[in-house]
Structure 1
């Protein structure tokens, strides 16, 4: 599927989604409500130039379940670590600003990574350089270069998990087989 076809499909899917929201708001489905919703969706696209939503080439459900389970585990561990540091010598907790190079070129994967790391206690996204796909994060506790490297590796692991679960058009070569 070429880029223009993906963009068109993305816009059609977003239009269907917006039409569905419109119908839910009205609470009924009839010809006039659907036609009015289609006009509103077309007007919204024309007025706001809504961006195309990135499409996923393939979703691997078992890997998605693993991503969710690993995120829950990461959330639990980071909560315990931050809680421990908040109670035990909170003034001595050191933090750091860490740059993480991302492999993915998919906006969807980058969104997943940034959301995931921002939801974990002790880590927040400060800046994203979209041209170089570099995340700049604030992480704590970081007392040494080894801990900074560990945090960097954790973000790379999150990205790898998401790339395995959601195969995107930007990251997968066109000749990839469906194993």
Structure 2
């Protein structure tokens, strides 16, 4: 029963989100637009398999702020590194496909991790196996196994921080994973 309520709540959340986008596209809120939007959302759910919005049981503000600061820092550092390599020797920058075994089973955490990774210069999500929580990331510059391992560790650090910040029902047990030495 709890799973059914969670599914209904997630689908309702996605429906509200779609209705909000519909209203923004029309640029007004009146009875006809709202009713039309509800009809469109119902049709969309009827003809397609729209995902549910993953639920968050709680957001921890301090770990969330740390994760946000880490993202900003990684964004700045990766921009400098990619810029340096692009100016110094653009034809010699090598990349690699790196597989990362994620710990999380939460769609929300995995989605947030993959978005965070893809927004950073030099990294891009190229594959995601939801069932096994396996991420395939193209990263650059990667000149050897040590740099590939470092990039994998960075993705896993991001995931652990997000798991502590966004507690979801599927990760509730794992959310209190203690930080590693380098994360402290």
TM class by shorter-chain length? 0.7 to 0.9
State the alpha-carbon separation in 2 of the partners of residues 22 and 142 from structure 1. Answer: 43
* Aligned mates of 1:153, 1:5 — CA distance in 2: 36
**Matched residue, 2:80:** 80
In structure 2, the residue matched to 1:29 is 30
Q: Which residue of 2 aligns with 1:48?
A: 48
Instruction: Specify whether residues 129 and 19 from structure 1 end up closer, same or farther in structure 2 by C-alpha distance, changes over 3 A only.
Output: closer
Structure 1's unaligned 5+ residue stretches are: none
> Could you tell me whether the CA contact under 8 Å between 2:13 and 2:52 is conserved in 1?
no
Aligned partner of 2:182 in structure 1 is none
Q: SS at the partner of 2:57? A: strand
Query: 1:6 is matched with which residue?
Result: 6
8 Å CA contact 1:109–1:159 kept in 2: the answer is yes
Structure 1, 119-128 or 90-99: larger mean CA deviation? 90-99
Whether the 8 Å contact between 1:106 and 1:170 is mirrored in structure 2 is yes
Aligned equivalents of 1:158, 1:72: Cα separation in 2: 12
Deviations 1:51-107 (A, max 9, x none): 212111111233222222211110110011111111223333222221111000011
Are the counterparts in 2 of residues 23 and 29 from structure 1 also a CA contact under 8 Å? no
Q: Is the 8 A contact 2:99 2:135 kept in 1?
A: yes
Over 3 Å counting, the alpha-carbon distance change for 1:131 and 1:14 in structure 2 is closer
TM-score under structure 2 normalisation? Answer: 0.84
Offset of residue 132 of structure 1: 1.6
Q: Please provide the CA RMSD for this pair.
A: 2.1
3-state SS in 2 of match to 1:56: coil
SS at 1:99 equivalent: strand
Gaps of 5+ in 2: 177-184
CA distance in 2, matches of 1:157, 1:139: 16
Q: Structure 1 length normalisation: TM-score?
A: 0.86
Q: Which has the larger radius of gyration?
A: 1
1:154 is matched with: 154
| Corresponding residue pairs, total | 174
- Aligned CA distance change for structure 1 residues 47 and 150 (closer, same or farther; 3 Å): same
Q: Alpha carbons of 1:20 and 1:131: their partners in 2 closer, same or farther (altered >3 Å)?
A: closer
Q: How far is the alpha carbon of 1:47 from its aligned partner?
A: 2.2
- The aligned runs of 1:39-118 (5 Å cut-off) are 39-118=39-118
Deviation at 1:11, TM superposition (A): 1.2
